[in-house]
Amino acid sequence: MSNFFSKAEVTSSGRPVLLRNEVECHLLSAVDLEPEDHRHFSLLKSGLLILTTHRLIWLPSSSASTPTCASAIPLAAISHIFSSKKSLKSVFHSPRIRFQVLVSSTGRVFDPGSGSGSSSGSGSRSVVVTAVIRGKGDCDGFLVKFWDSWRARAWETTETSGSGSASASGSGAATGTGGGLYSSDGSVRMVGVAGILSKEQEMWESTDKNLQDAFQDLNALMSKAKEMVTLAEKMRLKLLSGTSSQTSGTNDEDMGSKEEMQDWLLSVGIISPVTKESAGALYHQQLSRQLADFVRIPLERAGGMINLIDAYCLFNRARCTELISPDDMLQACSLWEKFDVPVMLRKFDSGVMVIQNKSHSDEEVFARIKSLVTKPEALRTGISPTDTAMTLGIAPAMAKEHLLTAESKGLLCRDISPDGFRFYINLFPEIDPCNMYFVKDYGICSTWIKAVSTTGMRLRPWVNQKGLGAQDGSIQK
């Protein structure tokens, strides 16, 4: 395919990787992109067109090609959007949206972020691109949001805020070189350490004021939600940069607190949550892909498996005011079977539903459980779901499901008492059917006898529900 458009990065679930402060606005399915006067371009057929505040992103359908050929058109490269004309001919054709893009001297769409030019005038010529909507979607609504996003020019705000600190530091250095004592507004300019502390104090005062305003009432919270998410993301990145640069000078406790703070800030919010308004008929499909990306970090912290209810709470907290229902969550998880994503929904025999990595192995969990249950103390008293939860670093409810699964595989035996469930190593595979009264001096059974004998307890005969036992009392103490 030609490199006429810029390449767009996608996640493992096929969702676009958004730029800083970039927010999705609208989606259309089954869209073709057709430049009208560019001969060396291969047409993009039947893909998903996503409108954001910064770009037009075209993603191929999963059945057509791989996500590596995703393309993007920066809104900064669009010089004109043509108005849609209603005519009798348009009734019998698929809806079309036409817009004009600037093309650089290299034959590619002008991209301000790639250094191909310093302004929109760097494009040597213009090319008209037609988006043909062959699927079902709100074409008129998409066009309205297209106009609004293009006129808002949100990418210029991002560039201004990103370069503001650099320009401020540059101007400060120039002023310091000149030796001026007063700033441009006539106030005394703070320099050195005092100036840095003063700027930090002003920044934290502004942050504190934003937090107070945000939590004043629900209306203020909704209006400040995006600002809070952006602030949390900046703080997380600052912590990450500080951790990488000061790793050698910090102790384990400080590192642990920083990692905990990073995880907390990461779960504060999703900058661009998928909504029914923006996704339309593709709501559950895109919600499913975004959820697959979101649960990656919680799954790593939980050892590869997390309860569906816990994931639902974390995901809704991250979406701020754009909450979803349990039915939407369940439907989004059920769609993972159709997509090539690294996570899956699993239902235990007891009915408990969890989200787990596809690479998660029950055999590894069973090996850890076996090493726990074969310890001398566990051989005498067994293990509980709480003991397993502490060993595996998971919730007791999840630990109980693992123990029940291990029991169904024949690894454990279960004892139910008023105190709850206790699980023991299954000794029945150690019994020789031809000589069931023979006690081996090796293996798990021998270890169990030694562990119980050290406590001075009287060993009961091997009696099970089938009536098998050592009638000669050879294993009694």
Do 142 and 97 lie in one domain? The reply is yes
Residue 176 banded pLDDT, cuts 50, 70, 90: very low
- Asked whether 54 and 154 are in contact (CB, 8 A), the reply is yes
417 & 434 share domain: yes
**What's the rounded mean pLDDT across residues 31-45?**
77
> Does residue 46 surpass a pLDDT of 70?
yes
- Pick 477 or 125 by higher pLDDT: 125
Domain count, the chain: 3
- Same-domain status, 288 and 331: yes
**Residue at 322 is within a domain:** yes
Give mean pLDDT, residues 373-387. 89
**379 shares a domain with 337:** no
* Residue 467 located in a structural domain: no
Whether 30 is covered by a domain: the verdict is yes
Based on the fold, state whether residues 18 and 141 are members of the same structural domain: yes
Task: Looking at the structure, tell me whether residues 353 and 377 fall in a common domain.
Answer: no
- Compute the distance between CA of residue 237 and CA of residue 234 in angstroms, rounded to an integer: 5
- Tell me, yes or no, whether 310 and 429 share the same domain: no
Segment 44-50 mean pLDDT: 89
Distances (CA, A) of 265 to 10, 238, 289, 315, 469: 23, 11, 22, 13, 60
First to last CA, the chain: 81
Segment 303-319 shows an average pLDDT of: 90
Range scoring the smallest mean pLDDT among 32-36, 189-193, 226-230, 384-388 = 189-193
Query: What are the backbone dihedrals phi and psi of residue 57, each rounded to the nearest 5 degrees, phi first?
Result: -115, 130
Q: What predicted TM-score, i.e. pTM, was given to this entire model?
A: 0.67
Q: For residues 38 and 33, what is the distance between their CA atoms, to the nearest angstrom?
A: 12
Structure tokens at 298: 């919680």
Q: How confident is the model at residue 336 (pLDDT cuts 50, 70, 90)?
A: very high
Q: Which DSSP symbol is given to 451? A: H
Q: What digits encode the pLDDT tens for the residues 206-255?
A: 887 776 666 665 555 555 566 666 666 666 666 666 555 555 455 555 55
φ, ψ of residue 463 to 5 degrees: the values are -120, 125
Residue 56 lies in domain: 6-112+124-152
Q: Is 271 left (phi over 0), alpha (psi -120 to 50) or beta?
A: alpha
321 & 436 share domain: no
Q: Considering the domain boundaries, does residue 108 fall inside one?
A: yes
Q: Do 320 and 367 touch, CB atoms closer than 8 A?
A: no
pLDDT at 325: 94
Which of 411, 415, 428 minimizes the C-alpha distance to 374? 411
Q: Would you say 292 and 343 are in contact if contact means Cβ atoms under 8 Å apart?
A: yes
User: Would you give the distance in Å from CA 96 to the centre of its chain?
Assistant: 34
Q: 357, 391, 416: which is the final residue of a domain?
A: 357
Alpha-carbon distance 72 to 281, whole Å? 22
Domain boundary among 308, 331, 357: 357
- What does the pLDDT read at residue 58? 93
Lowest pLDDT segment from 113-122, 165-174, 299-308: 165-174
- Residue 91 resides in a domain: yes
Q: Are residues 328 and 440 in the same domain?
A: no
Give the span between the Cα atoms of 135 and 81, in whole angstroms.
21
Residue 438 within a domain: yes
User: What is the per-residue pLDDT for 284?
Assistant: 93
Residue 445, CA atoms < 13 Å, CB-side half-sphere: 15
Helices (runs of H) and strands (runs of E) counted in the chain: 16, 13
Could you tell me how many residues make up the chain? 477
Same domain, 313 and 450: no
16 and 128 part of one domain: yes
**124-127: Cβ within 8 A, 24+ apart:** 126/79, 126/80, 126/100, 126/101, 126/102, 127/35, 127/36, 127/37, 127/38, 127/100, 127/101, 127/103
Q: What CATH number is given to the structural domain containing 147?
A: 2.30.29.30
- On whether residue 203 sits in a domain, the answer given is no
C-alpha span between 21 and 17 (Å, rounded): 12
Strand partners, 102: 126
- 8, burial (CB in 10 Å: exposed 0-12, middle 13-18, buried 19+): buried
DSSP 3-state of 342: coil
Predicted confidence (pLDDT) per residue in 418-445, tens digit: 888 899 988 888 777 777 666 666 667 7
Is residue 60 within 8 A of residue 16, CB to CB? The reply is no
Q: Which of 334, 357, 380 is the last residue of a domain?
A: 357
In a domain, 217, yes or no: no
Strand partners, 81: 99
Beta-carbon contacts of 50 under 8 Å, excluding residues fewer than 6 positions away, are 16, 24, 26, 27, 56, 57, 58, 59
pLDDT of res. 327 = 96
Six-digit token string for 341: 């994503």
Give SS3 for 360: coil
Task: Give the pLDDT band (50/70/90) at residue 339.
Answer: confident
CATH code of 442's domain: 1.10.10.10
Locate tokens 């076996």: which residue? Answer: 370
Do 30 and 141 lie in a common domain?
yes
